[in-house]
């Protein structure tokens, strides 16, 4: 049979192994936490309040991000202006921006001593505080508005230019265009975009740690953190984790049915002539929307850069040590991400398997980690490894592994279509030449997916570099990563050092992403 020529054997073993490992990490660790839980624990009123707040903030964050993204994406889709391309590229930046850096930037603009309150104070208004729900929403919209905009912009650009030309010849007004062309597209894309952002905000930790807290603004993830860190109540932590997992899995299951392509990639620059939007007042509205979004997204970043510039040369030694640790963790985490993602993607994308049980079972396994709590995975690993070795020494390796699992869905999303393309274009040629196993990987697959592989590695490195999650639980005082060190500086109100550390973290995250991404595209022959 023809299918015998496909080099499935090796791929199946490696892919199956990777899938088993991810399953163990996502579910096995939860089991380990459960097994070590003592006593009934039980969820109190505070925990149910955390559940309510979690759902509230995730719903509002997703609704605000998507709601604001509609006019913004529409403005970007129907208007050409100098710097448009740059702005769209910059829209990808929050994705690799360390959360804690963004929080610092948002505080510099919207915080108690920030630019906004400065202006308000001079105008005679009461200062506003962004701690609690407003701050959490502000940060989540800051991170997810660009994502939602890119998703929607992709939808807009999937509408063929000929449709708009036809609309122009038929004398469609802006409202007609919306009704007949844009609304059908939005109806297809909005639910998926909402779900993705809801999921991201559901397990959001660093934002809530820095801007939330207190009985009225605690999420489940933060409650898990507090259960571990302050009470060491494994039972309660495990119950909370199960609750969060159930919500996440339910949302993910719904979201899979609204499957939309995520727009993390480059491109997105095909402006279409829009005759219906040529009116002056429409241009003014679009322009104001774009300007407001640009200021909202760029002002916090600029604030971090400006505040940090003077401080970066005088950073205390522990910050530099933390930076070195973070780079090491990020590189290890990137290697683990690729080692897990590549076999999984090969298995899912391999010919003849696309409609088989592999893709139906394997792909959801890759996305399990979106629903799993990183804190629980980390704690589970500690509990499992505790009898074998010293847990404090494991803080950094465990962080690297947990970060890798968190990056896995994105890496899979990027690599799977690239491998499928390589197979579609050159699979037959490779089969006719007997290119199989490792030789096929070396001579066909890897060279063909270099650019997406570099992009995925860059994302994984930047995400790990900026992650403030599981490491906050276990790192010893002298073993922090850079994001944790930055958080500690902020908590100690050492704002000058914090500003310098934030700029350093920002630069390192972007540099790691840039290096991998460029490396993938360097002398790549399409």
Chain contacts with other proteins (rule: CB under 8 A): 1-5, 425-426, 428-429, 431-436, 438-439, 442-444, 447-448, 450, 524-526
The alpha-helical segments, DSSP class H, found in 159-269 are 161-169, 174-177, 183-202, 206-211, 220-229, 234-257
Nearer to other proteins, 216 or 442 (CB): 442
Nearer to other proteins, 5 or 49 (CB): 5
* Four-CA torsion 277, 280, 282, 285, nearest 10 degrees: 140
Supply angle C-alpha 313, 317, 321, rounded to 5.
110
Residue 425: CB minimum distance to other proteins, A:
5
Residue 349: CB minimum distance to other proteins, A:
17
Look at residues 462, 480, 460 and name the one whose alpha carbon lies nearest to residue 471.
480
Return the residue matching tokens 């912009």.
Answer: 153
Identify the three-state secondary structure at position 507: helix
Please tell me the total number of residues recorded for the chain in this structure: 526
Burial class (CB in 10 A: 0-12, 13-18, 19+), 59: middle
Secondary structure element (H or E) that encloses residue 303, with its range: helix 280-309
Biggest CA–CA distance in the chain, Å, is 81
Nearer to other proteins, 120 or 443 (CB): 443
- Calculate the CA 522 to chain-centre distance: 25
Euclidean distance between CA atoms 252 and 41, whole angstroms: 28
Helices and strands (H, E) in the chain, number of each type: 25, 0
Residue 262: CB minimum distance to other proteins, A:
26
Residue 438: CB minimum distance to other proteins, A:
8
Residue 354: CB minimum distance to other proteins, A:
16
Euclidean distance between CA atoms 19 and 447, whole angstroms: 24
Nearer to other proteins, 270 or 523 (CB): 523
Euclidean distance between CA atoms 237 and 226, whole angstroms: 9
Nearer to other proteins, 3 or 173 (CB): 3
Nearer to other proteins, 56 or 524 (CB): 524
Q: Sign (positive/negative) of CA torsion 74, 77, 79, 84? A: positive
Nearer to other proteins, 274 or 450 (CB): 450
Euclidean distance between CA atoms 66 and 340, whole angstroms: 32
Euclidean distance between CA atoms 428 and 434, whole angstroms: 10
Residue 139: CB minimum distance to other proteins, A:
42
Residue 5: CB minimum distance to other proteins, A:
3
Nearer to other proteins, 259 or 526 (CB): 526
Residue 14: CB minimum distance to other proteins, A:
18
Return the residue matching tokens 């710097």.
Answer: 83
Residue 437: CB minimum distance to other proteins, A:
9
Nearer to other proteins, 229 or 428 (CB): 428
Burial class (CB in 10 A: 0-12, 13-18, 19+), 40: exposed
Nearer to other proteins, 74 or 448 (CB): 448
Residue 335: CB minimum distance to other proteins, A:
23
Q: Contact, 402 vs 377, CB < 8 A? A: yes
């Amino acid at each position: 049979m023809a299918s015998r020529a496909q080099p499935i054997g090796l791929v199946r073993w490696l892919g199956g192994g990777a899938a088993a490992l991810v399953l163990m990490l996502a579910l096995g660790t939860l089991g380990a936490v459960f097994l070590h839980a003592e006593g009934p624990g039980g969820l109190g009123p505070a925990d149910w309040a955390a559940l309510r707040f979690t759902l509230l903030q995730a719903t509002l964050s997703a609704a605000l991000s998507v709601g604001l993204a509609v006019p913004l994406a529409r403005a970007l889709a129907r208007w050409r202006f100098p710097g448009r391309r740059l702005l769209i590229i910059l829209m990808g930046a929050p994705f690799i921006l360390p959360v804690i850096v963004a929080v610092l930037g948002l505080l510099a603009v919207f915080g108690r001593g920030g630019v906004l309150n400065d202006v308000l104070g001079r105008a005679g208004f009461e200062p506003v505080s962004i701690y609690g729900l407003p701050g959490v929403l502000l940060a989540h919209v800051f991170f997810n508005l660009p994502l939602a905009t890119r998703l929607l912009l992709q939808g807009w650009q999937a509408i063929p230019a000929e449709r708009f030309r036809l609309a122009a010849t038929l004398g469609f007004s802006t409202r007609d265009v919306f009704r007949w062309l844009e609304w059908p597209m939005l109806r297809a894309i909005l639910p998926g975009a909402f779900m993705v952002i809801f999921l991201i905000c559901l397990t959001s930790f660093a934002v809530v740690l820095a801007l939330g807290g207190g009985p009225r603004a605690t999420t489940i993830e933060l409650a898990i953190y507090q259960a571990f860190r302050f009470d060491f109540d494994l039972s309660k932590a495990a119950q909370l984790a199960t609750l969060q997992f159930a919500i996440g899995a339910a949302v993910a299951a719904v979201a899979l049915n609204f499957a939309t392509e995520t727009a993390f990639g480059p491109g997105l620059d095909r402006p279409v002539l829009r005759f219906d939007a040529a009116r002056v007042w429409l241009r003014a509205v679009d322009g104001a929307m774009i300007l407001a979004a640009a200021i909202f997204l760029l002002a916090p970043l600029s604030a971090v850069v400006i505040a940090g510039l003077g401080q970066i040369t005088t950073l205390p030694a522990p910050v530099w040590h933390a930076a070195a640790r973070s780079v090491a963790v990020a590189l290890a985490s990137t290697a683990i991400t690729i080692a897990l993602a590549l076999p999984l993607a090969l298995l899912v994308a391999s010919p003849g398997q696309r409609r088989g049980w592999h893709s139906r079972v394997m792909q959801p396994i890759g996305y399990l980690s979106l629903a799993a709590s990183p804190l629980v995975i980390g704690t589970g690993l500690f509990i499992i490894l505790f009898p074998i070795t010293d847990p404090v020494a494991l803080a950094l390796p465990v962080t690297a592994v947990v970060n890798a699992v968190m990056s896995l869905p994105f890496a899979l999303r990027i690599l799977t279509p690239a491998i499928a393309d390589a197979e579609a274009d050159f699979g037959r040629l490779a089969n006719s030449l007997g290119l199989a196993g490792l030789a096929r990987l070396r001579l066909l697959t890897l060279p063909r997916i270099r650019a997406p592989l570099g992009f995925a590695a860059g994302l994984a490195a930047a995400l790990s570099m900026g992650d403030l999650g599981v490491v906050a639980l276990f790192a010893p005082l002298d073993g922090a990563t850079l994001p944790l060190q930055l958080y500690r500086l902020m908590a100690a109100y050492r704002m000058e050092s914090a500003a310098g550390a934030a700029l350093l973290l920002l630069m390192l995250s972007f540099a790691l992403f840039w290096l991998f991404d460029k490396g993938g595209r360097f002398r790549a022959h399409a």
